[in-house]
């Protein structure tokens, strides 16, 4: 189903005319209102009037997470705070989160784009949606919540956690749609099985999964175990949240990007050159309509490619391929974005630790596990076991407090973590997805 027939099926020429008009207005606005953008444009020797065609976008400088960090927390907002009605945040590479803001109109746009995503996945007004994306600073929960309401369907705002209770609600309320991370979907089905219940007996028929990497094999498994049609949804806080792109139920081949609101480019992350359609590289996104927190050529660090062929679902919107990884070392553990540098920052505050650590990520019963192994210095190592255990617990608490993720901390002997000749290998990801 198509939620916004007019905009989702625009002929390319008409779509590009809208994109150019919006891009020029955006560039004028950020140049006038956001000092950080003005400075970056000036440093690159480009002025708003230089943007005459869509190709001229390539003359504008990229925006990175570092820019957001330099302007933490609200320095890149393009409206006064009294027009901001919502704040969300996601993990930054240091202890500080990346902060994003929305005007009322931004929330309306976002709601429409999530409504479009739901419709593309085959959801309609009569559906009941069990929304198990986390509510809070994370954009998943509230993003889907508003989208479901915009579509006119019913939302159950379950949020994350409390798996057994979720199973009870799935059984009793009979939702027809499940929205959560793909790993949590599988975890739900395992727990149901342990309780002697079968997902096939529930009413679910569609699942919309994203916020973390998953594979075609995982889709097959989810569809088989949960008895539903599983679709991929993509987004990131810096650009909006969920709803930037979504697979359609008809083709399930690539995620349609809402191009009347975003321009996507693929670049070579080393040379920074823009690559032609079909080639794989880093996805870069420009927001065309966001008011509070527009981004210009934001480097997502996500790896994908673009396919411009019209789709059998009727949309002319470019499709991005399922993400195949990231160009940085961010890992996603139970839906929480984690940078090794954040863990490092927590560890470095503790006396008695050596700056050698490794993160071991695995998946046990469909749930991600994170173990932090860190070397202690000689003095700490000769302490009694009880003291070492206390130290471990203390670090676990700090990681939970600062990063919002549970980890198992294991203090290990001095010089036991393998040293590398080049870049230290901080992450060992044993998950098979």
Chain residues in the site for ligand DLL (CB under 6 A): 90, 133, 138-140, 210-213, 232-237, 241-242, 300, 302, 323, 326, 332, 337
Kindly state the smallest distance separating residue 408's Cβ from ligand DLL, in Å.
23
Return the number of the residue (230 or 376) whose C-beta is nearest ligand DLL: 230
Long-range CB pairs of 161-170, under 8 A, 24+ apart, other chains included? 163/187, 163/188, 163/191, 164/191, 164/195, 166/130, 166/132, 167/191, 167/192, 167/195, 167/197, 169/130, 170/130, 170/202, 170/204
Is 320 within 8 Å of 304 (Cβ atoms)?
yes
Minimal distance in Å, beta carbon 233 to ligand DLL?
Answer: 5
Phi, then psi, of 302 in degrees rounded to 5: -90, 145
Taking the alpha carbons of 120, 125, 127, 131 in that order, is the dihedral positive or negative? positive
Q: Which is nearer to ligand DLL, 323 or 353 (CB)?
A: 323
The nearer residue to ligand DLL, 303 or 388, going by C-beta atoms, is 303
Picking from 239, 257, 235, 240, the residue whose alpha carbon sits closest to that of residue 248 is 257
Q: How far is the CB of 278 from ligand DLL (least distance, A)?
A: 20
Query: Closest CB to ligand DLL among 265 and 302?
Result: 302
325 and 293 Cβ atoms separated by less than 8 Å:
no
Closest CB to ligand DLL: residue number = 210
Nearer to ligand DLL, 51 or 340 (CB): 340
Q: Which CB, 279 or 324, lies closer to ligand DLL? A: 324
Q: Which is nearer to ligand DLL, 63 or 139 (CB)?
A: 139
In the complex, what is the shortest distance from the CB of residue 216 to ligand DLL, in angstroms, rounded to a whole number? 12
Nearer to ligand DLL, 51 or 246 (CB): 246
| Smallest separation, CB 105 to ligand DLL (Å) | 20
> CB neighbours (10 Å) of residue 217?
10
Query: Exposed, middle or buried by CB within 10 Å (0-12, 13-18, 19+), for 190?
Result: middle
Question: Closest CB to ligand DLL among 110 and 133?
Answer: 133
Residue 67 · residue 34 · CB < 8 Å: no
Cis before residue 73, ω within 30 degrees of 0? yes
Long-range contacts of 196-199 (CB under 8 A, 24+ apart): 197/167, 197/171, 199/225, 199/226, 199/227
Q: Which two tokens stand for residue 192?
A: 């149901």
Nearest to 189 by CA among 173, 212, 205, 166: 166
Give least dist CB 238 to ligand DLL, A: 7
Task: Please state the separation of Cα 247 from the chain's center in Å.
Answer: 15
H helices within 204-315, ranges in order? 216-226
Q: Is the CB of 179 or the CB of 380 nearer to ligand DLL?
A: 179
- Compute the least distance from the CB of residue 328 to ligand DLL, in Å: 9
**CB of residue 337 to ligand DLL, shortest distance in Å:** 5
Minimal distance, residue 23 CB to ligand DLL, in Å: 22
- Per the CB < 8 A criterion, the answer to whether 300 and 284 are in contact is yes
Task: Indicate the residue among 323 and 359 with the shorter CB distance to ligand DLL.
Answer: 323
CB of 155 to ligand DLL, least distance (A): 14
Cβ neighbours of residue 330 closer than 8 Å, sequence gap 6 or more: 91, 93, 301, 337, 338, 339
Comparing CA positions, the residue from 223, 194, 242, 275 lying closest to residue 88 is 242
Q: How far is the CB of 113 from ligand DLL (least distance, A)?
A: 12
> Cα–Cα distance between 258 and 319 in angstroms, integer?
9
**DSSP state letter for 55:** G
Dihedrals phi, psi of 318, to nearest 5 degrees: -55, 145
């Amino acid at each position: 189903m198509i939620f916004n027939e007019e905009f989702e099926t625009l002929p390319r020429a008409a779509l590009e005319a809208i994109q150019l008009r919006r891009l020029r207005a955006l560039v004028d606005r950020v140049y006038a209102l956001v000092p950080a953008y003005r400075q970056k444009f000036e440093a690159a020797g480009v002025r708003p009037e230089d943007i005459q065609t869509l190709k001229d976008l390539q003359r504008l400088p990229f925006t990175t997470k570092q820019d957001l960090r330099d302007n933490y927390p609200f320095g890149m907002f393009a409206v006064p705070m009294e027009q901001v009605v919502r704040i969300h945040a996601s993990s930054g590479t240091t202890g500080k989160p990346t902060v994003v803001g929305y005007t009322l109109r931004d929330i309306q746009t976002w709601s429409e784009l999530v409504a479009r995503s739901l419709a593309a996945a085959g959801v309609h007004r009569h559906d009941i949606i069990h929304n198990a994306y986390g509510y809070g600073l994370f954009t998943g929960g509230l993003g889907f919540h508003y989208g479901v309401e915009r579509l006119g369907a019913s939302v159950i705002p379950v949020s994350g956690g409390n798996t057994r209770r979720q199973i009870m609600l799935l059984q009793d309320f009979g939702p027809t749609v499940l929205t959560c991370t793909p790993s949590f979907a599988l975890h739900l089905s395992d727990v149901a099985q342990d309780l002697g219940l079968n997902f096939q007996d529930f009413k679910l028929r569609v699942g919309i999964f994203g916020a973390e990497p998953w594979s075609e094999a995982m889709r097959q498994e989810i569809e088989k175990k949960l008895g539903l049609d599983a679709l991929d949804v993509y987004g990131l806080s810096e650009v909006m949240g969920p709803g930037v792109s979504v697979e359609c139920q008809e083709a399930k081949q690539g995620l349609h990007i809402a191009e009347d609101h975003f321009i996507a480019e693929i670049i070579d992350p080393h040379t920074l050159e823009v690559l032609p359609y079909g080639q794989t590289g880093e996805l870069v996104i420009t927001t065309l309509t966001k008011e509070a927190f527009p981004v210009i050529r934001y480097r997502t660090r996500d790896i994908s490619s673009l396919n411009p062929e019209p789709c059998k679902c009727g949309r002319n919107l470019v499709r991005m391929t399922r993400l195949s990884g990231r160009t940085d070392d961010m890992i996603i553990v139970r839906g929480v974005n984690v940078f090794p540098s954040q863990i490092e920052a927590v560890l470095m505050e503790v006396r008695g630790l050596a700056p050698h650590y490794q993160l071991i990520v695995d998946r046990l019963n469909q749930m991600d596990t994170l173990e932090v192994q860190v070397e202690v210095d000689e003095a700490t190592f000769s302490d009694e076991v009880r003291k070492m255990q206390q130290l471990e617990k203390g670090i676990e608490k700090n990681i939970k407090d600062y990063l919002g993720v549970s980890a198992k901390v294991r203090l290990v002997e001095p010089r036991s973590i393998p040293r590398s000749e080049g870049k230290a290998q901080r992450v060992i990801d044993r998950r098979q997805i």
